[in-house]
Every structure is written in structure tokens, then in C-alpha cells.
Amino acid sequence: MKAVQISFRQMLVFLKNDMMLAIACVAPVFIGSIFCFGIPRLEGVVTEYFKMKSILKPYYQVFDVFLASITPVFYCFVAAMVILEERDDHITDALYASPLGKGGYLVSRLGIPGLLSFVITEGLLLAFSLIHVSFLTRTFMAMNGVLQGVIFSLMVVTISSNKLEGMAVTKLTSLMMLGVAMPWFLPEKVQYVFWFLPSYWMGKAVWCQENLLVIPAVLLAGVWGYCLVKRGRC
Amino acid sequence: MITVNNLNYSYTDKPFIRDMSFRVSRGEIFGFLGPSGAGKSTLQKILTGMLPDYQGQVQVHGVECKKHKKDFYENIGVDFEFSTMYEKLTARENLNFFSSLYKKKSKSIEGLLEKMGLAQDADKRVSEYSKGMKARLNFIKALLHDPALLCLDEPTSGLDPTNNRLMKDMILEEKAKGKTILLTTHNMQDATELCDRVAFIVGGQIMALDSPHNLIMSRGARTVTYRWQENGEQTAVCALDEISTDQRLQMLIHDNRLLSIHSSEPTLNDIFMDITGRALV
């Protein structure tokens, strides 16, 4: 456990030396503030301009679910970039051949950041949510966001062979998050095309206000995670 | 210390390491010699518990490598072929980090840096280090927690002659302290000088295993080469144990007509070529 803590602290030192990744850590706070303060103002402006009662308001939930998804994804993106750079520099081999081991390394690079991003997501949803959601729903949203974030980083690490490729794969992989918006924009029959995305079920859970729909999201995240770890090069 | 019995390993369906068996005793320097892709590094990864999907028995300190616990690494120091340091951190920061992963008290970082001639550059970022400096730093990292087993992969690669000598002296110093050392190398000279025993590995198999001296002596006879002047410069070679029966040499010595004479013995590389049918260096 001591080795895991030290390894995680080392990751923080690493971030101190990498401005891009350090900025990525505070980006969710900016996004949350923009959603919270910018969207209602924008709603005011557009409804007045188009003389309509509401335009963006029916989609406020989408912004909340999106914030719950993007926050852990940012932290897991940072973790994936650190893993890739450590792999590029052959540091992972040295860490595997130490008391930290492969398991400890993955806990320090994916487990702890995932756990922290869960707490941060809860906090950001509490602070910046556009609609009132219950504690349970908020927790489910944060949990699902974290699972998605871990899948995201596993995918980036598995597909890419270096940090440069990782940046490119990140853009492609982040499309997986779009599943959250499908229940609002696609007819029910069509939206099931996205059943394999955990994010779709999270969106569906919020749209239907049915917390049980979190179960398929968690199960699917488990399957994705298992397949990626099995195939993985991390 | 290390026992390997009927080891087989494969990355694909095709066998890569085939039926390897050997033992390494405490305090021994054991060399793995072979061309690139022969299976040396794979073998080292198996011995350090990084590739658990092998068949056969591989025990280090009495622990089966595929079933090792985390404290397994408290007594193993691995010096990888490539630099395994954070490039954006200084040498000192790197060493502090890696030593803190172990429960054992670390050796003096200052002392080791001083010994390896890196004390002046301890606060430089590793990205500013030359290849040779990185190799020395990697070696220090493997020694930090004072492990009983050292696995060194091409430790002298990229070193200038002075630092090469320094590194070899450090390796011999560790051996004198009773450490067991596994040395993976292409460099036959280093192997001859350092290793108590060497294993020639080609195509995932051990082709020969003995001390460098025995390998050299068993396969090749020492020879004497001499030159003299007779219608231009002439050269002849005779076996060292037949020197008294070489009439021409006797006559040249008697007439004081020899231009030069020197004895030579085959190198480990000659033996490697003889046994495996291919050159290593």
C-alpha cells in the first residue's frame, strides 16, 4: 500500500512538470462553471430573441449528465497520458519489477484517480447541476462517469503505442461519451443502436428517471473493462 | 539461488524458449550470451516474475516466479537495457522515488552517485544525460535496495572504456559481497572477464553452458604464430603443444631469423561461432 501511495504521489509530481496535463485537471471546473452560469444566461438570450418559452431548458439534464461523464474522463485522460509516457520511457517495466508490481501500478494510475474523480464529480454536480437531482441519482451518475473514464483510459492505453498516438486515440475514444445524449435526440427504436455504450444507459437512466437502468451501464462497463485488460498492454 | 527446470515459454503458438534447465548458485555471476532475439531478455523477464505464463519450474530464492508475492522484489535488482528513468526529473529525484518503493533501507544515494562519477550531475534532469550516464544511473537504481540478486541487461552498453572498467569493477565488488548476478550481454569480452559460467542461447535454447575458461579450453587449442623473412615475409602457425616438434620453428630460432612470435588462444566469440554456427559480434 505504501508503494501504491508513493507511486500515486509520483504521478502528481509528474503532472507538476507537464502543464498540459495540469490544465486538464482543472478543466472540469471551468466546464462546470460555464454550464452552470453560461447556459441559463444563454437560454435567456435565445428565448427572448426567438420569442419562445424555452429552448435549452428541456436539455438541462443532458448538460448535467455530460458534466458527470466528462469530469472523470478528463482525469482518466491525464492518467492514460502518464501511463503512455511512462511506457514510452520504459518506466513501467521498472515499476512492475518492484514491490509496486503491475497490480499496484494500475491501482495508482487508474484506481486512485478514478476514486478521486468520483468525489470531484459528486462535488461538481452538487455545485454546478442545472436541475435538482437526488443524492442517489447524482451518485449513480458520478459512478457511471468514473467507470466510463476508466474504460476510456484503458482503451487509449491499449490502442496506442505511444503518447502521440494516445492523443489521437483520445479524440476518437471520447466519442463514446456521446451515448449519454441519445435518449434526448433519437427516437426510442433508433437509439438502441447504441446499447453497447455504458454512457447510453446512463443517459437513459436520467431521461427515464429510472435508477435501475444504471445496472446495464455498470455491467457493460465491466465487460468493456475486462476485454480491455485482457487485451491490454498496460 | 536460481533453479530452472524444463522451462518452456511462447509469445505465440510457436515455442520460443524450449526446454531450458540450469541452476545458478549464490554468489555466482552467470552470463546469458546470444544474438538479438535469442530469448535472453525473455528469460530475464521470466526470472524476474514479469512473464508468469511459462511452463516448467523456475524458482528464485526458493519462490516459484509465477506465484511470487510483492516482497519477491525486495531482493531483486533489475538493470534494464534501456533507461527506465523519468526524463523530466533529476537523477537524485529519480533515485529517491525508486528507493522509496522498497521496505528495505536504501543504500546511500550520494555514495553511489559519487562512486559512479555522477555526483556532479545529480541535480541535472535525466533528459540532459548522455547514453552512458543513463546506463550508470540505471545501474545505481538496481543497487539501491541492496538486493541479493542482480539482473543486469547489457550494463556496459554505451559506456566509454573508463566507465566500462568502473562498471565492471562495481559488478565484481557486488559479487565479492556475495551477490548473485545474472548478466545478459552481447559482449564476449565482458562475459569472459566477469562471468563464472555462461550459457550460449540461440533460438530459445541453451546450446552450451560452462565457465568461459572451460569453453575456450575444451574447444580450441592454443596456437603460436611466427613470422620470418624468406623471399618476402612468411607466416606460419603451429599448435602450442606441438611447438617442440615444429622443425622449421626450431631452425628459425637456431638461426635467429624470427621476425616475431606470439601465442594466441580462441576467444569466447570463436567458441560461440564454433558451437552455434553464427557470429555474435
∠ at Cα A7 (A4, A13), nearest 5°?
145
The answer to whether residues B226 and B178 belong to one domain is: no
Strand-pairing partners, residue B32, are B184, B199
- The one-letter code for the residue type at B251 is M
pLDDT tens track for B45-64: 999 998 998 999 999 998 99
Q: What percent of chain A has pLDDT over 70?
A: 99
The answer to whether residues B161 and B240 belong to one domain is: no
Q: What is the pLDDT of residue B281?
A: 52
Task: Tell me what the mean pLDDT of segment B232-246 comes to.
Answer: 89
Which residue in A has a C-alpha nearest to residue B65's C-alpha?
A97
Total-model pTM: 0.82
Cα-Cα-Cα-Cα dihedral sign, residues B202, B204, B208, B210 = positive
Torsion of CA B106, B110, B115, B119, to 10 degrees: 140
Q: What percent of chain B has pLDDT over 70?
A: 98
Q: Helix, strand, or coil here: B17?
A: strand
∠ at Cα A72 (A102, A151), nearest 5°?
50
Which residue in A has a C-alpha nearest to residue B49's C-alpha?
A97
A98 contacts B101? CB cut-off 8 A: yes
pLDDT tens track for A162-200: 888 988 888 888 888 888 899 999 998 899 999 999 999
Q: What is the pLDDT of residue B98?
A: 95
pLDDT tens track for A40-64: 999 999 999 999 999 999 999 999 9
Nearest to A14 among B76, B86, B103 (CB): B86
Q: Does B69 reach chain A within 8 Å, measured CB to CB?
A: no
pLDDT tens track for A14-39: 888 888 898 999 999 999 999 999 99
Nearest to A97 among B48, B85, B100 (CB): B48
For residue B132, is pLDDT > 70?
A: yes
In a domain, B273, yes or no: no
Instruction: For residues A98 and B72, give the distance between their C-alpha atoms in angstroms, rounded to a whole number.
Output: 8
The answer to whether residues B120 and B241 belong to one domain is: no
In a domain, B281, yes or no: no
Q: Looking at the predicted complex, does its ipTM rise above 0.90?
A: no
In a domain, B280, yes or no: no
Per the structure, the count of domains in chain B is 2
The 3-class secondary structure across B173-219, one letter per residue, is: HHHHCCCEEEEEECCHHHHHHHCCEEEEEECCEEEEEECHHHHHHHH
Q: Does A135 reach chain B within 8 Å, measured CB to CB?
A: no
Q: What is the pLDDT of residue A133?
A: 82
Q: Does A28 reach chain B within 8 Å, measured CB to CB?
A: no
Q: Which domain holds residue B44?
A: 2-216
Task: Tell me what the mean pLDDT of segment B223-243 comes to.
Answer: 89
Q: Which domain holds residue A169?
A: 2-231
Q: What is the pLDDT of residue B219?
A: 65
For residue A217, is pLDDT > 80?
A: yes
B73 contacts A89? CB cut-off 8 A: no
Q: What is the pLDDT of residue B92?
A: 95
In a domain, B270, yes or no: no
In A, which residues are within 8 Å of B85 by CB distance?
A: 89, 91
Q: What percent of chain A has pLDDT over 90?
A: 59
Chain B nearest C-alpha distance from A145 (Å): 31
The answer to whether residues B209 and B226 belong to one domain is: no
CATH number at residue B54: 3.40.50.300
Instruction: Using CB atoms within 10 Å of the CB of residue A59, give its burial: 0 to 12 exposed, 13 to 18 middle, 19+ buried.
Output: middle
The answer to whether residues B139 and B209 belong to one domain is: yes
φ and ψ at residue A129, rounded to 5 degrees: -60, 140
A18 contacts B76? CB cut-off 8 A: no
Per the structure, the count of domains in chain A is 1
Residues B34 and B44: beta-carbon distance below 8 Å: no
B84 contacts A89? CB cut-off 8 A: yes
Instruction: Using CB atoms within 10 Å of the CB of residue A58, give its burial: 0 to 12 exposed, 13 to 18 middle, 19+ buried.
Output: exposed
Residues B263 and B251: beta-carbon distance below 8 Å: no
Instruction: For residues A83 and A77, give the distance between their C-alpha atoms in angstroms, rounded to a whole number.
Output: 10
B101 contacts A3? CB cut-off 8 A: yes
A93 contacts B80? CB cut-off 8 A: yes
Residues B34 and B200: beta-carbon distance below 8 Å: yes
pLDDT tens track for B65-122: 988 888 899 999 999 988 999 998 999 999 999 999 999 888 999 999 999 999 999 9
How many CB pairs below 8 A link A and B? 61
Q: What is the pLDDT of residue B241?
A: 82
The answer to whether residues B188 and B240 belong to one domain is: no
In a domain, B143, yes or no: yes
Task: Tell me what the mean pLDDT of segment B248-253 comes to.
Answer: 92
The answer to whether residues B104 and B229 belong to one domain is: no
The answer to whether residues B187 and B152 belong to one domain is: yes
Q: What is the pLDDT of residue B239?
A: 85
The answer to whether residues B43 and B93 belong to one domain is: yes
Determine which of A90, A92, A108 to mutate to test the interface with B (most B C-beta atoms within 10 Å).
A90
Q: Helix, strand, or coil here: B59?
A: strand
Which residue in B has a C-alpha nearest to residue A1's C-alpha?
B101
In A, which residues are within 8 Å of B141 by CB distance?
A: 94
pLDDT tens track for B185-230: 888 889 999 999 999 998 899 999 999 888 887 765 678 899 999 8
In a domain, B153, yes or no: yes
More confident: A69 or B266: A69
The answer to whether residues B18 and B132 belong to one domain is: yes
Chain A nearest C-alpha distance from B264 (Å): 42
Least confident range from A25-39, A107-121, B228-242: namely: B228-242
Q: What is the pLDDT of residue B59?
A: 94
Task: Tell me what the mean pLDDT of segment B238-260 comes to.
Answer: 90
